[in-house]
Amino acid sequence: MWQRVNTGMGASPAPDLDAELMLRVREGDEDSFRVLLDKHRNPLIHFLYRMVQDQPVSEELAQEVFLRIYRSRASYEPTARFTTWMFRIATHVALNWLRDEKNERAQERLDDDRDYDLPSRELPDRKPTVEQRMLYRARLQEIRDAIALLPAKQRAAVLMHKYQEMEYSQIAAVLECSESAVKSLLFRAYETLRGRLAHMVTRGTK
Amino acid sequence: MTYQGMTCPLLSEESIDILLDYAAGRLDQARSTLLERHTASCESCVAFLGGQTSLWQTLDEWEPATVSMDFNRRLWRRIDGLRTQPWYRRFSASVRLGGWKPAIPLAAAVLVVAAGFIMDHQNTAPVSPAAAKSVGVSVIEVDQVEKTLDDIQLLKQLDTSGTDTRAARTL
């Protein structure tokens, strides 16, 4: 009944640990799925959150990604790194959500979940003042807006490069394009961001 | 444009990764040394690296939100729901995963064959009097045309035989 799921990312690299775990899931070992879930849950939700900029939605989309992985277990073939496959599904899910006109309207109400944006690290040793909090929020909003205004594919490339620390080849596999196309996407995206955040980005030599 | 044995990475998007990785602190030692030699005499790269490094630090400020504590529990509840689903629901879910995509060209091919079959049979089917009447052509008219064609054929044959007779008389 299940269609054959080929991770479809070109040449077959040596199976990684995650792929081996997924093969065990295919054999019916649900504990291996728990391991994969615990390992990749946070990076996946963080990526989706930065893509859609809505915390409840990002968790819902992450659930969809893990459900798809679970549903595909019977036909899983490790033809690429597990994370490449997972982020490919996640990117598809996020891009579909962003394309949805209805959801784009919902995206405009970013203020609703503003409290999600206050990370625990923001509160170091002492409580920040009201002014510091406002300043932080304003800067954060500018960063979010600058990234949100990028074309969806550029945004995905930047998030995978900057926050997931992925290799160019892996980003290319996720986005189904060439490595040089990824470099071009990143070059243009960072150029745009440097322009949009110029007042925050202090120019100086390294 | 080559500086210190290295083509300026800014001249090609293909080699922009060297600058991006250096600004991110991900470039290996050997290539870092090579780039540093280059930047000693390339102001454009120095300016790019300054801006990119600052941007990198600015983007670091955007930390991810905390994941809900009940994420796993919600997911396992949905997975349990999957297990208890009837077979047709599971089938439709597997189709939603993308299994319907290969069916598109197949369906298109079937449609083309079906259309061709119908058109072919429409052309060769005998015209019934009722159908002919509906389009304003009477069966009698068709018969008359056939008869006229036969007459033309007969006249041609007569003409040919007449020519042969005249030729024989001349001889």
Q: What is the CATH number of the domain that holds A137?
A: 1.10.10.10
Given CB atoms, is A3 within the 8 Å cutoff of chain B? yes
* Best of B10, B22, B75, B92 to mutate (most A CBs within 10 Å, chain A): B75
One domain, residues A102 and A158: no
Domain boundary among A71, A88, A113: A113
Separation in Å, CA of B100 to nearest CA in chain A = 10
Number of domains chain A is built from? 2
Are A153 and A174 in contact by the 8 Å Cβ rule? The answer is no
**Neighboring chain A residues of B61 at a CB cutoff of 8 Å:** 136, 139-140, 143
Residues of chain B contacting A49 with CB distance shorter than 8 Å: 64-65
Owning domain of residue B56: 2-60
Identify the domain containing residue A14 by its residue range.
1-113
Cβ–Cβ pairs < 8 A, chains A and B: 120
Rounded Cα distance between B165 and B149, Å, is 25
Question: Which of the residue ranges A7-11, A76-80, A187-191, B34-38 would you say has the lowest mean pLDDT?
Answer: A7-11
Last residue of a domain, one of A62, A84, A113: A113
A151 and A89 share one domain: no
Contact list in A for residue B79 (CB cut-off 8 A) is: 67, 70
State the Cα torsion A20-A25-A28-A29 to the nearest 10°: 80
Q: State whether B71 and A45 contact (CB < 8 Å).
A: yes
pLDDT at res. A3: 45
Q: Is B151 within the bounds of a domain?
A: no
Residues A56 and A83 grouped into a single domain: yes
Of residues A133 and A102, more confidently modeled:
A133
Please enumerate in sequence order all residues whose Cβ is within 8 A of that of B54, keeping only pairs 6 or more positions apart, or say none. Answer: A201, A202, A203, A204
Q: Are residues B56 and B8 in the same domain?
A: yes
- Are A156 and A98 in the same domain? no
Model confidence band, residue B155 (pLDDT cutoffs 50, 70, 90): confident
The reply to whether residue B62 touches residue A59, judged by beta carbons under 8 angstroms, is: no
Residue A126 neighbours by CB distance under 10 Å:
6
For residue B91, give the nearest of A1, A46, A121 by CB distance: A1
Characterize the bridge pairing of strands A5-6 and A76-77.
Answer: parallel
Q: Give residue-wise pLDDT tens across range B68-105.
A: 999 999 999 999 988 777 767 666 665 555 555 556 67
Please state, in angstroms and rounded to a whole number, the distance separating the CA atoms of residues A59 and B66. Answer: 11
Q: Please enumerate in sequence order all residues whose Cβ is within 8 A of that of B61, keeping only pairs 6 or more positions apart, or say none.
A: A136, A139, A140, A143
In whole angstroms, how large is the CA radius of gyration of chain A? 19
pLDDT at B31: 92
A5 in contact with B, Cβ within 8 Å: yes
Give the three-class secondary structure for B150: helix
Comparing A10 with B60, the larger pLDDT belongs to B60
Over the stretch A113-152, which tens digit does the pLDDT of each residue have? 444 444 544 444 567 788 888 888 898 999 999 999 999 9
Q: Does residue B21 surpass a pLDDT of 90?
A: yes
| Domain tally, chain B | 2
- Residue A145, in any domain of the structure: yes
Question: Residues A60, A87: one domain?
Answer: yes
Strand B6-7 relative to strand B2-3: parallel, antiparallel, unpaired?
A: antiparallel
- Residue ranges of A 91-130 with Cβ closer than 8 A to chain B: 116-117, 119-122
Domain end, chosen from B10, B25, B60, is at: B60
Q: How close A15 comes to chain B (CA, Å)?
A: 23
Is residue B18 situated within a structural domain? yes
Residues of chain A found within 8 Å of residue B16, distances taken between Cβ atoms: 183, 186-187
Partner residue facing B65 (CB), from A37, A55, A186: A55
Q: Could you tell me how many residues make up chain A?
A: 206
Q: Please tell me the distance from the alpha carbon of residue A185 to that of residue A168, in angstroms, as a whole number.
A: 11
CA distance B62 to A137: 10
Among A65, A87, A113, give the residue marking a domain's end. A113
Q: What is the pLDDT of residues A61-100, one digit of tens each?
A: 999 999 999 999 998 988 889 999 999 999 999 999 998 8
Our CA-based measurement puts residue B127 at a distance from the nearest CA of chain A, in whole angstroms, of: 49
| CA separation for the pair B162, B171 (Å, rounded) | 15
Q: Best interface-test mutation with A: which of B15, B28, B55, B68 has the largest number of A CBs within 10 A?
A: B55
Q: Are residues A17 and A106 in the same domain?
A: yes
CB A47 within 8 A of CB A97: no
Whether A40 and B75 have beta carbons less than 8 Å apart is answered as no
Beta bridge partner(s), residue B6: B3
- The closest of B2, B61, B51 to B22, measured between CA atoms, is B51
CB distance A1–B99 less than 8 Å? no
Give residue A31's pLDDT band: very low, low, confident or very high (50, 70, 90).
Answer: very high
| Same domain membership, residue B7 and residue B29 | yes
Chain B residues in contact with A193 (beta carbon < 8 A): 55, 59
Domain co-membership, A99 together with A135? no
Distance, in Å, from the CA atom of A201 to the CA atom of B32, rounded to the nearest integer, reads: 23
Q: Could you give the ipTM of this predicted complex?
A: 0.77
Of A38, A139, A161, nearest to B61 by CB-CB distance is: A139
